C-alpha cells in the first residue's frame, strides 16, 4: 500500500449502492452490456472501497460528465484533488484510453496519476470546468478545441496498432447500416446512402503518413480548463485511434445539444465546418464527410440508451445535411 494516512487505520466503511448517485446515462449504458453491466453496477461500491484503500484516496459523489464510466472527484491522503474513473466492462476492452493518456504524459490531456489496468480504473489530474460551461462565442470555442487538438496530436504509441481511420470508416458505416431498421429507420434512406458513400471515400483516403493519434471524441464537454498550459485547456475521455485530423475535427460538427438550433441548419453546419478548417488548416470537405457520419453515429448511439430528444436533433441535422450535397455545394 502507498504511504499515507490509511496505512495505520482501517479503511472507511464501504458505502452501499443506494448511497452512490450513479448518473442515469451511466446506468443505461451499463444496462446495454447485459449481465456484465449489471454485475459491474452491483460490485461498484466494493471496487471503489478497494481503490480508496489501495490508493489512499477518498472518493466523493459522481460528477455529471460521462456515460461510459463512473467518474467522481477524489482527494488523496496528501490533500491532492483528483478524479477517479472506472470504465464499464466491454466499453474499451483494448484499454485505448489508458494508452493515449500514458503516451500524452499530461500534454493536451489530463495527467494520469495511477491506474489499475485489470479493473480499468484511473486516478487523473483534476481539471477545471468544461469549455461548454464558459458560454463563449462559437468561434472562440472552435478555436480553443482546434488549438488543444494541435497540442494533443502526436504519433501513436508503440505496441498493438490502434484502430485506423480506414477501420473506423468501415466500422461506423456498417454499424449504422445494420441498426437503421432495428431502430425504426430514424433518418432518411438517402442519409444512409450518403454515409456509405462518404465512408468509402474516407476509407480510401486513409494515409498513415498523414495520420495522428486522435482523441476520437473532442467536444466542448471533454475540453476542460487547465490554467497555465499552452492552450488553457486539456482533454479528457479519449477514445484513441490513428486517423486523419479531420476525424477529430468533425466531432464538433455533430454537437448541437438537445434543442434544434435556430436558423438555417445547413448554414450553421457549413459555418462550423469552415471555422474548423480555418483554425486547423485541414481540408473542409474531409471534415464535412466525417461530420455527417459522426452525426448519425451519435444519433443512433443516443437512441440506444433512450435519449430520444438529443438523438432527434442529430438525425434531423443529418437528414438536412445529406440533402445538401458536398461542402462546396452547401
Look up the CATH architecture of domain 5-125. 2-Layer Sandwich (3.30)
Identify the burial level of 190 via C-beta atoms within 10 angstroms of its C-beta, where 0-12 means exposed, 13-18 middle and 19 or more buried: exposed
Matching residue, cell 468544461: 130
Is the pLDDT score of 246 beyond 50?
Answer: yes
Q: What CATH class has 131-329?
A: alpha beta
- Which of 193-207, 226-240, 251-265, 269-283 shows the lowest mean pLDDT across its residues? 251-265
The rounded percent of the chain whose pLDDT value lies above 90 is 85
Supply the pTM of this predicted model.
0.90
Is the CB of residue 179 less than 8 Å from the CB of residue 259? no
Instruction: Tell me the pLDDT band of 9, cut-offs 50, 70 and 90.
Output: very low
What contacts 26, CB < 8 A, 6 or more positions away?
A: 62, 66, 67, 68, 69, 70, 88
What are the backbone angles phi and psi of residue 10, rounded to the nearest 5°? -65, 150
Report pLDDT digits (tens) over 296-318.
999 999 999 899 999 999 999 99
The pLDDT value recorded for residue 13 is 55
Q: Which residues, listed in sequence order, are joined to residue 62 by a DSSP beta bridge?
A: 72
What is the pLDDT averaged over residues 121-135? 96
d(CA 3, CA 6): 8
Closest C-alpha among 53, 51, 50, 47 to residue 17: 47
Is the pLDDT score of 330 beyond 80?
Answer: no
Instruction: Tell me the pLDDT band of 3, cut-offs 50, 70 and 90.
Output: very low
Domain residue spans in the chain? 5-125, 131-329
Report pLDDT digits (tens) over 158-169.
888 999 999 999
Amino acid at each position: 500500500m502507498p504511504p499515507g494516512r490509511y496505512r495505520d487505520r482501517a479503511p472507511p466503511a464501504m458505502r452501499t449502492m443506494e448511497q452512490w448517485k450513479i448518473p442515469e446515462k451511466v446506468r443505461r449504458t451499463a444496462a446495454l452490456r447485459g449481465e456484465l453491466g449489471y454485475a459491474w453496477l452491483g460490485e461498484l461500491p466494493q471496487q471503489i472501497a478497494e481503490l480508496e484503500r489501495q490508493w489512499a484516496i477518498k472518493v466523493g459523489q459522481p460528477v455529471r460528465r460521462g456515460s461510459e464510466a463512473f467518474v467522481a472527484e477524489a482527494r488523496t491522503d496528501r490533500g491532492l484533488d483528483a478524479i477517479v474513473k472506472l470504465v464499464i466492462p466491454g466499453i474499451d476492452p483494448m484499454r485505448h484510453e489508458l494508452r493515449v493518456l500514458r503516451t500524452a504524459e499530461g500534454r493536451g490531456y489530463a495527467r494520469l496519476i495511477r491506474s489499475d489496468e485489470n479493473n480499468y480504473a484511473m486516478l487523473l489530474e483534476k481539471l477545471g470546468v468544461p469549455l461548454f460551461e464558459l458560454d463563449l462565442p462559437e468561434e472562440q470555442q472552435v478555436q480553443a478545441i482546434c488549438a488543444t487538438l494541435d497540442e494533443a496530436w502526436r504519433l501513436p504509441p508503440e505496441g498493438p496498432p490502434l484502430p485506423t481511420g480506414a477501420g473506423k470508416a468501415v466500422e461506423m458505416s456498417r454499424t449504422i447500416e445494420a441498426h437503421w431498421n432495428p431502430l425504426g429507420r430514424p433518418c432518411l434512406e438517402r442519409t444512409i446512402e450518403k454515409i456509405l458513400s462518404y465512408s468509402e471515400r474516407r476509407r480510401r483516403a486513409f494515409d498513415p503518413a498523414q495520420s495522428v493519434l486522435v482523441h476520437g471524441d473532442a467536444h466542448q464537454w471533454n475540453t476542460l480548463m487547465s490554467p497555465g498550459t499552452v492552450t488553457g485547456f486539456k482533454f479528457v475521455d479519449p477514445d484513441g485511434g490513428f486517423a486523419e485530423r479531420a476525424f477529430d475535427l468533425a466531432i464538433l460538427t455533430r454537437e448541437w445539444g438537445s434543442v434544434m438550433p435556430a436558423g438555417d441548419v445547413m448554414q450553421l453546419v457549413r459555418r462550423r465546418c469552415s471555422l474548423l478548417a480555418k483554425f486547423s488548416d485541414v481540408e473542409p470537405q474531409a471534415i464535412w464527410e466525417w461530420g455527417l457520419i459522426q452525426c448519425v453515429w451519435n444519433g443512433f448511439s443516443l437512441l440506444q440508451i433512450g435519449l430520444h430528444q438529443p438523438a432527434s436533433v442529430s438525425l434531423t441535422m443529418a437528414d438536412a445535411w445529406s440533402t445538401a450535397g458536398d461542402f462546396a455545394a452547401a
